[in-house]
Structure 1
C-alpha cells in the first residue's frame, strides 16, 4: 500500500486510434455492443465533444437558466482588468474565495498592463473607449498610491 502512495498516480490513454479503413469497418460492426452507435447517451457524446473541443460540452450543458457571458468588447476587457486590479488592491473581495486580500505587486502589474494597452491603442480608440481607459487608469493609480502609502 505504501509503495503505491510513493509512486503517485498513473495516466492511461484510452483513446482509440484508427489505423486504416478496415479497422473502422470492424468498429462499426461492434458498435451496438460497445456503446459507440446511435444508442449512445447525450452525456457520452458531450464527453467526446469535450475531448475534441474543450469547453464545448460545458457550454451546451449550461441549460436554459444559465446566465450568458457578456460580449467581449474593448470596454468589457478594460472592466475585467480593472476588476482584477481592485481585487488585488484589496478594495473588493476575491470572487472565488470571498476574502479581501492585498497583492500590490500583482495590482501594479495589471495597472501597467492597462497603461501599455493605452499606449499601444493610441489613435485607434473611439472617444468613449479612450475616456474609459483614461478614467480607469487614473482611478486605479490613485488607489494604488493610497494602498502603498498605508
Structure 2
C-alpha cells in the first residue's frame, strides 16, 4: 500500500520547532529537556548582525555592473579562482556575462545618470576587448 493511501499516516505540523529541537538535543545528550527556553525570544541574537550583513557596500547599479564584470573577467582567466588559486578559462560563461551587461545597457538606456552610463559603457568595452583577445589566443 502506498503512503498516499495509508490512513494511519498523517502530516503533523509542529509550530514550535525550536522547542522540539531543544528537546531532541537534550534527549541525545541524556540531559533533561528544559521546560522553558533559556533565553526569551527578544534576547536571541540578531541573525543579520551575526552574519555580517551590515558589512556589505550599499546596493547600487555600479555594484551590479562590477559583480557581473568580475565574473566575466574571472571566466576569461584574468582572475584566479579563490578556492584553487588557479585561473580557468570558460569563454562561454564570459560571453554570457557580457551579454547580460549588454541587456542591462539596452534596458536601462535613458534611465541612468551620466556616471552609471559611462561606467557601463566602459566596462562593456573593456570586457569585449578582453574577450576578443582570449578567444583568439
**C-alpha deviation, 1:70, in angstroms:** 1.1
Q: Which secondary structure state, in structure 2, belongs to the residue aligned with residue 16 of structure 1?
A: coil
**C-alpha deviation, 1:16, in angstroms:** 2.0
**Partner residue of 2:129?**
142
**Partner residue of 2:50?**
61
Whole-angstrom distance in 1 between the partners of 2:50 and 2:69: 30
**Residue pairs, 1:1-150, within 5 angstroms:** 16-17=14-15, 34-35=33-34, 37-40=36-39, 45=44, 57=47, 59-62=48-51, 68-150=55-137
| CA pair 123-100 structure 1, distance change in 2 beyond 3 A | same
TM-score of the pair, normalised by structure 1: 0.63
The ranges of structure 1 where at least 4 consecutive aligned residues each deviate by more than 3 angstroms after the TM superposition are: 33-36
**Partner residue of 2:9?**
none
Whole-angstrom distance in 1 between the partners of 2:112 and 2:15: 49
Whole-angstrom distance in 2 between the partners of 1:139 and 1:73: 21
**C-alpha deviation, 1:69, in angstroms:** 1.0
Whole-angstrom distance in 2 between the partners of 1:148 and 1:84: 16
Q: Which secondary structure state, in structure 2, belongs to the residue aligned with residue 125 of structure 1?
A: coil
**C-alpha deviation, 1:61, in angstroms:** 2.1
Runs of 5+ consecutive residues of structure 1 not aligned to the other structure: 1-13, 19-32, 47-55
Runs of 5+ consecutive residues of structure 2 not aligned to the other structure: 1-11, 17-31
